[in-house]
Amino acid sequence: MTPIVTETLLSKAQVLDSLKELPDQISADALIEHILFIQSIATGIEQAEAGHVTPHKDAMLDIRSWKK
């Protein structure tokens, strides 16, 4: 399966809302990691809505092949 690359943009409101969940003090690395995590979720939602998904049956077959 070819990976789908998208340039998912986050709104300022999405970022600000997600920051409310973080502790009052956080390292820059943890903050960047948090924002990238939020972006990866948004990308996954966009891909799913566009129909770029792997059916459960196919995913299970792929996972089983890893054990060999």
Report how far residue 18's alpha carbon sits from residue 37's, in angstroms, rounded to the nearest whole number.
Answer: 10
**Predicted structure pTM score:** 0.69
Using one digit for the tens of pLDDT, what is the confidence trace for 16-29?
Answer: 999 998 999 999 99
Looking at residue 22, what DSSP letter applies?
S
Mean pLDDT, residues 16-44: 93
At residue 67, the pLDDT reads 86
Return the pLDDT at 7: 78
Helices (H), the chain: 12-19, 28-49, 56-66
54-65 pLDDT, tens digit each: 999 999 999 999
Q: How far is Cα 46 from Cα 50, in angstroms, rounded to an integer?
A: 6
Q: Is 20 exposed, middle or buried (0-12, 13-18, 19+ CB in 10 A)?
A: exposed
